[in-house]
């Protein structure tokens, strides 16, 4: 049968249309709901600077460890600033205890846009670096720089959590006079801002109390052979010798003095108030007297001491509790201000009231710690042992100070202090 092509095409089209109308197609699947985007965690950079190479690298690493522990603990707890979660990142720099290197790494941290700096260790590096941080408006807290000039510059962003040399110098000089009663004292320094500045304060105190102080002798922060200086003072028979400098140079000074037959009492500031003096001076170190511009490591709170030992598998040496507090102070001020921007949290830092590993911390108008303690030590059987605490001009035996602290400490939550028996 012949069917016209047009008719056949029309029939097929109608048939297909009828089939299509009889079949209901399923609607296309709805797109899957997008997962809510995770809120990005902001990174807040905190710098730390100290000598990580050279003769006092052990002290620089100790300081760095203190700051690192604080930052790691903050990250483990989780911190919010201004309602946003943040992660802290520590940028550690080595200033080699060299003022020129110190300013170079300070600028490096500024360029990295750190929110705050813990450091530097030495006054000689901290003071020039502080001028750069001041220009950049970045808060810095030193846990060990003691030269008064640091906070006398009028910078509102500069703080320290230890005492000053014009507190430390009189403390160690007064202790020396009250216990040894020297008539003639030789004073030597390493020609650094720290060593010379502390020696000046000691000399000033001794002279004010009528002690004869021999003309100043000097070395450097790298002097290892002190025999020429020691031979010069030996003939003048000093009853005591004070050295302003670090343990790396103070140890050889004492060892060589004993080898030359000098029997004077040797006294030092905080830079040489370490157990390493026994390693550097040998048996000659026993009996030395030294001071620290703050409470001793042994007086830091137990939580810090246990955490430090667990994290680094060593005990803190000297100023780690103070750099730990310094890092925590920066973090706490950011939390209180709700911002990690230096200009916004700086006012909170200046007015902060904080209980840390080294006790209660508040700053005066210059950025110095209020009511800073000084500690007097002696070397016994190769270990630096605290003898006394000096605070507000009063000297208290270390054992008595610890008892006073324990008595004043608040009772743990839920625990009442024992009542006094009725009489």
Task: Reply yes or no on whether the pLDDT at 269 is more than 90.
Answer: yes
What φ, ψ does residue 56 adopt, rounded to 5°? -115, 30
Task: Reply yes or no on whether the pLDDT at 311 is more than 60.
Answer: yes
Query: What confidence category does residue 402 fall into, taking pLDDT thresholds of 50, 70 and 90?
Result: confident
Cα angle value 226/281/64 (rounded, 5°): 100
What was the pLDDT predicted at 362?
Answer: 97
Distance in angstroms (rounded) separating the CA atoms of residues 264 and 257: 9
Task: Reply yes or no on whether the pLDDT at 316 is more than 60.
Answer: yes
Of 409 and 67, the one with more pLDDT: 67
Cα angle value 303/306/310 (rounded, 5°): 135
> Which of 293-302, 305-314, 406-415 reaches the highest mean pLDDT?
305-314
Question: In the chain, which segments carry CATH 3.40.50.2300?
Answer: 42-162+299-371, 166-292+375-408
Task: Calculate mean pLDDT across residues 282-301.
Answer: 92
Query: What confidence category does residue 409 fall into, taking pLDDT thresholds of 50, 70 and 90?
Result: low
What was the pLDDT predicted at 403?
Answer: 84
Task: Reply yes or no on whether the pLDDT at 13 is more than 70.
Answer: no
Q: Which helix (H) or strand (E) covers residue 8, if one does? A: helix 5-22
CB 90 within 8 A of CB 46: yes
**166-292+375-408, what's its fold?**
Rossmann fold (3.40.50)
The set of residues, in sequence order, having a beta carbon less than 8 Å from that of 100 and lying 6+ positions away, is none
Q: What is the pLDDT of residues 102-159, one digit of tens each?
A: 999 999 999 999 999 999 999 999 999 999 999 999 999 999 999 999 999 999 999 9
pLDDT averaged over the chain? 89
**Listed residue (90, 95, 60) closest to 320, CA to CA:** 60
**Listed residue (294, 194, 170, 209) closest to 250, CA to CA:** 194
What was the pLDDT predicted at 419?
Answer: 43
What was the pLDDT predicted at 26?
Answer: 53
Task: Reply yes or no on whether the pLDDT at 418 is more than 60.
Answer: no
Task: Reply yes or no on whether the pLDDT at 2 is more than 60.
Answer: no
Length of the chain: 423
| Range in 229-233, 258-262, 371-375 with the lowest mean pLDDT | 371-375
Task: Reply yes or no on whether the pLDDT at 379 is more than 70.
Answer: yes
Cα angle value 91/84/86 (rounded, 5°): 20
Task: Calculate mean pLDDT across residues 339-348.
Answer: 98
Task: Reply yes or no on whether the pLDDT at 31 is more than 60.
Answer: no
The set of residues, in sequence order, having a beta carbon less than 8 Å from that of 321 and lying 6+ positions away, is 66, 295, 297, 300, 304, 356, 357, 358
Distance in angstroms (rounded) separating the CA atoms of residues 86 and 77: 11
Which two structure tokens, joined as six digits, stand for 74? Answer: 């903050």
What was the pLDDT predicted at 1?
Answer: 38
Phi and psi based region of residue 115 (left: phi greater than 0; alpha: psi -120 to 50; beta: remaining): alpha
What was the pLDDT predicted at 393?
Answer: 77
Task: Calculate mean pLDDT across residues 233-256.
Answer: 97
List the CATH code of the domain at 42-162+299-371: 3.40.50.2300
Of 185 and 17, the one with more pLDDT: 185
What was the pLDDT predicted at 404?
Answer: 80
Q: Between the CA atoms of 101, 106, 112 and 113, what dihedral angle is there, to the nearest 10 degrees?
A: 180
What was the pLDDT predicted at 34?
Answer: 54
């Amino acid at each position: 049968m012949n069917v016209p092509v047009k008719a056949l095409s029309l029939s097929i089209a109608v048939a297909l249309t009828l089939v299509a109308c009889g079949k209901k197609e399923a609607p296309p699947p709805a797109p899957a709901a997008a997962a809510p985007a995770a809120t990005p965690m902001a990174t807040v950079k905190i710098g730390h600077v100290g000598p990580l190479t050279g003769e006092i690298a052990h002290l620089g690493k100790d300081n760095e460890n203190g700051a690192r522990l604080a930052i790691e603990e903050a990250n483990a707890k989780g911190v919010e600033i201004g309602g946003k979660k943040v992660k802290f990142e520590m940028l550690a720099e080595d200033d080699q205890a060299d003022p020129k290197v110190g300013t170079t790494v300070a600028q490096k941290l500024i360029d990295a846009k750190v929110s705050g700096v813990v450091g530097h260790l030495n006054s000689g590096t901290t003071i020039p670096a502080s001028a750069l941080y001041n220009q950049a408006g970045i808060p810095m807290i030193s846990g060990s720089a003691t030269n008064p000039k640091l906070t006398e510059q009028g910078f509102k962003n500069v703080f320290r959590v230890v005492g000053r040399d014009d507190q430390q110098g009189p403390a160690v000089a007064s202790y020396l006079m009250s216990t040894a009663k020297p008539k003639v004292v030789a004073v030597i320094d390493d020609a650094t801002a720290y060593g010379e500045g502390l020696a000046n304060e000691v000399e000033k105190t001794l002279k004010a109390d009528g002690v004869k102080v021999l003309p100043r002798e000097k070395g450097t922060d790298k002097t290892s052979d002190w025999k020429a200086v020691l031979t010069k003072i030996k003939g003048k028979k000093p009853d005591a010798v004070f050295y302003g400098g670090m343990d790396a140079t103070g140890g050889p000074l004492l060892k060589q003095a004993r080898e030359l037959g000098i029997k004077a009492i040797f006294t030092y500031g905080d830079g040489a108030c370490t157990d390493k003096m026994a390693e550097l001076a040998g048996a000659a170190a026993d009996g030395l007297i030294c001071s620290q511009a703050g409470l001793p490591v042994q007086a830091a709170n137990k939580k810090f001491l246990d955490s430090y030992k667990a994290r680094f598998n060593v005990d803190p040496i000297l100023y780690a509790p103070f750099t730990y507090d310094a890092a925590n102070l920066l973090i706490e001020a950011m939390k209180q201000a709700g911002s990690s921007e230096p200009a916004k949290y700086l006012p909170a830092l200046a007015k902060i009231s904080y209980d840390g590993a080294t006790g209660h911390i508040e700053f005066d108008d210059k950025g110095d710690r209020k009511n800073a303690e000084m500690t007097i030590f002696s070397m016994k059987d190769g270990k630096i042992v605290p003898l006394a605490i000096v605070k507000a001009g009063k000297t208290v035996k270390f054992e008595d100070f610890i008892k006073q602290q324990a008595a004043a400490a608040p009772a743990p939550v839920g625990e009442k202090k024992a009542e006094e028996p009725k009489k």
